[in-house]
């Protein structure tokens, strides 16, 4: 196959208590990306969206990934990429990861499956590095593997795919700017051992709940006493959204990645949709534009649509 | 049943990276305990062992648990308890937890199953409090539930039973004294966020490995960069035992509870026995007496033998 069209899902990193290690693919929103193998060595990036992202390959998240693949495999071929981005940059829903993971997985397909999943993740991390300065895989891993993933280590790459519980996800993206670098800088460098122990009880509970499909356990493990209290200050309406979503029947939820998006898990579609309406109304009242998405946890990750 | 005889297993708390939250029951060593319901309200404790533990009920780990049960249920009955202790006090193999959990579970049987597992844990924690000053359930929980348990919270009690992987455990108890209170006091009160994130990657990996029966993942998750480097200083020979056990094929291991016992996991009985001989020879060479135990992870916990 010399050409492929992909559907690349948004992802929710951290999953509240799993800061820097957990991530989850969802169905909505998603990007579309077409990749074509060229006989000549150019890398051409075209964005068919309104976000004004740079198209010069070395400055583009998908582009840098392809350049690295080209260099590593000493390819004579190039790539033409057309990106229809729907996951808004800066949303905290893995927009840069979608470009990076899509480029790596798409290149792998048009090159005839020359890479393992972990190799694709290796190359995709160059895209994350370009976007945020940090080589992380919290969003890339669930994009490539689907479902919920544990990034046990990025050097060496050690990704553990977890179960994909049959749950609904409501995500809201309020139109406020939170820079990943800011939301990382405000974190305290030191924490108490007591808080760390409570946090790792929650992480252990969350992983056990995911593996046992114990939804109540997942819900009561979605607590973060270390990162959320600091980061949520940057997100207007956060406390209100969380409190009222839980009252409405959400299992739990919190900040998606470094924000400003917020996600909530629910067992029933009806609950997820009521939470979506609630989120919208909270931001309407605050006169903050917002986008709301309801979908299920996405067990497959990136899909080939053509 | 007015009388019961129990076999109560040793337990390994922490499981390296799961400080204060994880615990595992093993088959060897174990205590034996006979509990008889009395028509009169006395609580009588008799130790048929050489450890010189106090037999006055309010000063005895099993005794205090029975007094609390008697008080809570406003019982007119008393209990006579005969303890054959084989799990050495101060070994780090859950000796006090065995007395406490055995008393709670035994009382429940002779009283006609009036308590849930979590209620038994509630009462057994009074025994741990008497022994160490801390109401913890890391050792009690696997004694009562069997296998590997996650203590997500003790207030309220929230215990998550995990899988019980089909693995061998080698434990060595070198005859050196490490007081739980000392080994707790030398811990740093603050840790870096960076180390905490690495630790919770290991915990998440360990829980995922246990639930997936992925032995290699269990092995590479048994890393503790926070507690072990500090506590292992109190245990002579620790580094040597760990390094050589791993070279010999152990999946991983570390300090049992707060020490001085050390445990190692292995897939094959032969490996576990070779590790046992290795441990013995290391301490023989150091002129430190040691006791070595080889058994499997114990999926059932306390057993009724009569």
Q: Model ipTM?
A: 0.93
Residue A92 annotated as part of some ligand binding site: yes
Range of the domain at A47: 3-162+300-304
Find how far residue A86's CA is from the centre of its chain. Answer: 13
Q: Count of CB contacts below 8 A, A vs B?
A: 117
Please check whether residue B199 is in contact with residue B224, taking contact to mean a CB–CB distance below 8 angstroms.
Answer: yes
Distance separating the N- and C-terminal Cα atoms of chain A: 10
The whole-angstrom distance between B248's CA and the closest CA on chain A is: 24
- Cβ <8 Å between B196 and A192: no
What is the predicted pLDDT for the residue at B185?
82
For chain A, say whether B303 makes contact (Cβ under 8 Å).
Answer: no
Q: Strand, coil or helix: what is A77?
A: coil
Is A183 known as a binding-site position? no
Chain B residue nearest residue A152, CA to CA: B201
Structural tokens at position B133: 């000053």
Question: What are φ and ψ of residue A278, in 5° steps?
Answer: -60, -50
Q: Are residues B184 and B289 in the same domain?
A: yes
Tokens of B82: 């005969």
CA distance A68 to A70: 5
| Binary contact (A187, B193; C-beta < 8 A) | yes
Which stretches within B60-192 are classed as H helix? 61-72, 95-110, 117-132, 140-145, 180-185
- A160 contacts B205? CB cut-off 8 A: yes
Q: Which of B149, B170, B180, B271 is catalytic?
A: B180
Of B22, B192, B205, the CB nearest to A152: B205
Interval B180-213: pLDDT, tens: 677 778 888 999 999 999 999 999 999 999 999 9
Q: Which of A153, A203, A208 shows the shortest C-beta gap to B162? A: A208
Per the structure, the count of domains in chain A is 2
- A2 shares contact with chain B (CB less than 8 Å): no
Q: Which of A19, A204, A211 sits opposite B18 (nearest CB)?
A: A204
Tokens matching residue A41? 């060595």
CB A92 within 8 A of CB A16: no
Give the pLDDT score at B1: 63
What CATH number does the domain containing B250 carry? 3.30.70.890
Q: Which residues of B121-142 are buried (b: 16+ CB within 10 A; e: fewer)?
A: bbbbbbbbbbbbeebbbbbbbb
The DSSP result for B149-163, as a single string, is EEEEEETTEEEEE--
Q: Between B153, B196, B202, which is nearest A196 by CB? A: B196
CB B272 within 8 A of CB B170: yes
- Interface check B203 vs A, CB under 8 A: yes
CA B304 – CA B35 distance, rounded (Å)? 11
State how far the alpha carbon of B252 is from the alpha carbons of A72, B13, B22, B217, B244, in Å. Answer: 35, 15, 15, 10, 11
Q: Which residues have a Cβ under 8 Å from the Cβ of A138 and sit 6 or more positions away? A: A11, A13, A14, A20, A21, A22, A23, A151, A257
CA atoms within 13 A on the CB side of A116: 6
Per-residue model confidence as pLDDT tens digits over B240-297 = 999 999 999 999 999 999 999 999 999 999 999 999 999 999 999 999 999 999 999 9
Please give, rounded to a whole number of angstroms, the shortest distance from the CA of A294 to a CA of chain B: 27
Which residues are within 8 A (CB) of B102 and not within 5 positions of it... i.e. 6 or more apart?
Answer: B6, B8, B31, B33, B35, B62, B83, B143, B302
On chain A, the residues whose CB falls within 8 A of the CB of B193 are 187-191, 226
The helix (H) or strand (E) run that includes residue B38 is strand B22-38
Q: Angle A151-A155-A157 (CA atoms, 0-180°, nearest 5)?
A: 50
Which has the closest alpha carbon to B258: B16, B92, B9, B20?
B92
Report helix, strand or coil for A208: helix
**Chain A residues touching residue B187 (CB < 8 angstroms):** 193
Say if the Cβ atoms of B193 and A150 lie within 8 Å: no
Catalytic member of A154, A180, A228, A271: A180
| A132 CA to centre of own chain | 13
Give me the tens of pLDDT residue by residue for chain A, a chain 306 residues long.
699 999 999 999 999 999 999 999 999 999 999 999 999 999 999 999 999 999 999 999 999 999 999 999 999 999 999 999 999 999 999 999 999 999 999 999 999 999 999 999 999 999 999 998 889 999 999 999 999 999 999 999 999 999 999 999 999 999 998 776 777 788 889 999 999 999 999 999 999 999 999 999 999 999 999 999 999 999 999 999 999 999 999 999 999 999 999 999 999 999 999 999 999 999 999 999 999 999 999 999 999 998
Q: Tally Cβ neighbours within 10 Å of residue A281.
A: 12
Q: Verify that B10 and B144 share a domain, yes or no.
A: yes
A92 in the same domain as A222: no
What does the pLDDT read at residue A35? 98
Query: Is the previous residue joined to B251 through a cis bond, with omega within 30 degrees of 0?
Result: no
- My answer on whether B32 and B145 are in the same domain is yes
CATH of the domain at B122: 3.30.230.10
**How far is C-alpha A302 from the geometric centre of its chain's CA atoms?**
12
Distance of residue B92 Cα from the nearest chain A Cα, in angstroms: 20
Q: Is B207 on the interface with A (CB under 8 A)?
A: yes
Same domain, B158 and B174: no
Secondary structure E strands in A14-156: 22-38, 43-47, 78-84, 148-154
Q: Are strands A252-255 and A262-266 parallel, antiparallel or unpaired?
A: antiparallel
B87 and B141, same domain (yes or no): yes
pLDDT, tens digit (0-9, with 9 covering 90-100), for B74-125: 999 999 999 999 999 999 999 999 999 999 999 999 999 999 999 999 999 9
* Separation between Cα atoms, residue A201 and residue A221, nearest integer Å: 8
Q: Is A180 labeled as catalytic in the residue annotation?
A: yes
Question: From A161, which residue of chain B is nearest by alpha-carbon distance?
Answer: B208
Same domain, A115 and A176: no
What pLDDT is recorded for position B178?
A: 79
Average pLDDT for chain B: 96
Phi, psi for residue A68 in degrees, rounded to 5 = -65, -40
- Picking from B133, B138, B131, the residue whose alpha carbon sits closest to that of residue B152 is B138
Residues B117 and B226 in one domain: no
Q: Are residues A199 and A265 part of one domain? A: yes
Chain B residues lying within 8 Å of A221, measured CB to CB:
152
pLDDT greater than 90 at residue B177? no
Q: What is the average pLDDT across B146-167?
A: 97
The single-letter DSSP state of residue A176 is: -
Q: Are residues B154 and B235 in the same domain?
A: no
Contact B207 A212 (CB under 8 A): no
Cβ of residue B186 closer than 8 Å to a chain A Cβ: no
Return the percentage of chain B with pLDDT > 70, whole number: 99
The answer to whether residues B97 and B187 belong to one domain is no
Count of residues for chain A?
A: 306
Whether B180 is catalytic: yes
A161 touches chain B (CB under 8 A): no
> If we measure between CA atoms, which residue out of A46, A155, A263 comes closest to residue B201?
A155
> Is residue A7 located within the same domain as residue A96?
yes
């Amino acid at each position: 196959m010399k050409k492929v069209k992909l559907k690349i899902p948004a992802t929710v990193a951290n999953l509240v208590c799993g800061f820097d290690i957990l991530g989850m693919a969802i169905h909505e929103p998603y990007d579309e990306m077409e990749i074509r193998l060229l006989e000549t060595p150019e890398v051409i990036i075209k964005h068919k969206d309104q976000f004004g992202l740079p198209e010069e390959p070395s400055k583009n998240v998908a582009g840098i990934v392809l350049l690295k693949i080209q260099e590593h495999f000493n390819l004579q071929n190039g790539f033409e990429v057309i990106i229809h981005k729907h996951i808004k940059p800066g949303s905290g829903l893995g927009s840069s990861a979608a470009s990076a993971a899509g480029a790596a997985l798409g290149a792998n397909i048009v090159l005839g499956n020359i890479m393992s999943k972990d190799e694709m993740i290796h190359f995709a991390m160059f895209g994350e590095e370009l976007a945020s300065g940090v080589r992380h895989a919290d969003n890339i891993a669930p994009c490539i593997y689907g479902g919920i993933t544990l990034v046990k280590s990025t050097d060496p790459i050690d990704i553990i795919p977890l179960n994909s519980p049959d749950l609904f996800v409501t995500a809201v993206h309020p139109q406020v700017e939170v820079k990943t670098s800011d939301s990382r800088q405000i974190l305290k460098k030191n924490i108490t051992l007591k808080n760390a122990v409570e946090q790792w009880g929650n992480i252990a509970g969350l992983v056990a709940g995911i593996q046992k499909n114990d939804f109540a356990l997942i819900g009561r493990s979605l607590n973060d006493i270390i990162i959320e209290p600091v980061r949520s200050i940057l997100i207007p309406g956060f406390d209100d959204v969380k409190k009222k979503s839980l009252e409405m029947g959400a299992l739990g939820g919190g900040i998606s990645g470094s924000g400003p998006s917020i996600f909530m898990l629910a067992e029933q579609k009806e609950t997820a949709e009521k939470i979506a309406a609630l989120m919208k109304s909270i931001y309407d009242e605050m006169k903050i534009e917002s986008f709301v998405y309801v979908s299920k946890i996405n067990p497959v990750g990136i899909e080939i649509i053509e």
